[in-house]
Amino acid sequence: MDLDAGADAALCASLIASPTVAGTSDNVPDAPAGECSVGLARAAAVAETMGLFAAVAGEAASWATAERRAVLTFLDRSIDVLTTVRATVLVAERDSQAWVGSGDGSFEQWRGRTSRTGKRVARAQVRQATELGAVPEATTAVIEGRIGLDHAKAIGRIASSSSSPTVREAARSPEGQAHLLGLAETMDAGAFETTADRWAAQQDPAGLEQDHQRQRMNRFLTLTPTARGTMIKGQLDNSAGHRLQLALEAVTAKPAADDDRDFRQRTADALDTLATQALESGRYKPDAHVPPQVTLILTEETW
């Protein structure tokens, strides 16, 4: 497949008519006359290469450890790069308005239907694409391998979704981009996200406090007993939510080899553990509930 020049008309037509494309898109136009873009040929080449790799991935257990870890590194970077490239193409498709005549009520609905991922997944993809589109310097850094996708997502979230215009402007500025990228290149994604949020708070302290107060005003928690169990619904401010998450993690033991609970079940059990410990502690008076306790005094001979 010639990737240095546009694909000829026959190849372009065959790529557009392939089951992968034709089976998921209902408004793809006929192939243009003459050559079509290199982009289509290269996208097809990537898909073909992934298929070839998948054919040998089943042999991964027999690979040398160093080789297997190198493959994981290449795959991680490839997935990050492909996600940023998809974001660019999604934004271009959305902005082209070519999807409007499809009968779908929104771009997210169109994407969810034609990709067969559903509207919820499509909405998350479009939101991520919008955030990454706000920070092209960060996406370039992902493509160059200087930072990971999660680093770029953290920068994009601040630059695109912060409630403070001051913070958004600071994150998009050349100085802000340079500072955040410099930090991202030296930290893992989790530490960087925390540091980036702290930097954002420093750009507009008053706005951060106002946002926190808005979150506090909207907090709620309801417990509804039903025949299927107790349903829990609520919303906390970010600080309270973070404390709850840390508390749940603190009482969640590392699962044993025979532990068949999934993550959500372990989290539910952790919440029950917190509630049980609070009730048994006796600290929360006057209505604290302490389960009945029996003390036995035995002689050495009886023991």
Per-residue pLDDT of the chain in tens (303 residues, 90 and over written 9): 444 445 555 556 666 666 556 555 555 555 454 556 778 888 888 888 998 999 999 999 999 999 999 999 999 999 999 999 999 999 999 999 999 988 888 999 999 999 998 888 999 999 999 999 999 999 999 999 999 999 999 999 999 988 889 999 999 999 999 999 999 999 999 999 999 999 998 998 887 788 888 889 999 999 999 999 999 999 998 888 888 988 998 988 778 888 888 888 999 999 999 998 888 887 776 565 556 666 667 776 665
CA angle 88, 23, 86 (to 5 degrees): 10
Say what the pLDDT of residue 302 is.
66
The CA distance from 87 to 93, in Å, is 10
Annotate 90-104 with b (16+ C-beta within 10 A) or e (fewer): bbebbeeeebeeeeb
What are the phi and psi torsion angles at 200 (to 5°)? Answer: -60, -40
The CA distance from 263 to 275, in Å, is 19
Angle at which helices 189-203 and 174-184 pack, to 10 degrees? 150
25 token code pair: 């898109």
Say what the pLDDT of residue 242 is.
84
The CA distance from 3 to 73, in Å, is 25
The CA distance from 176 to 103, in Å, is 41
CA angle 13, 123, 267 (to 5 degrees): 130
CA nearest 111: which of 91, 85, 82, 131?
91
238 token code pair: 């970010």
The CA distance from 259 to 102, in Å, is 48
What are the phi and psi torsion angles at 222 (to 5°)? Answer: -130, 145
Q: Is 69 left (phi over 0), alpha (psi -120 to 50) or beta?
A: alpha
Residue-wise pLDDT for 37-96, tens only, equals: 778 888 888 888 998 999 999 999 999 999 999 999 999 999 999 999 999 999 999 999
Under 8 Å between Cβ of 202 and 166: no
The CA distance from 250 to 91, in Å, is 40
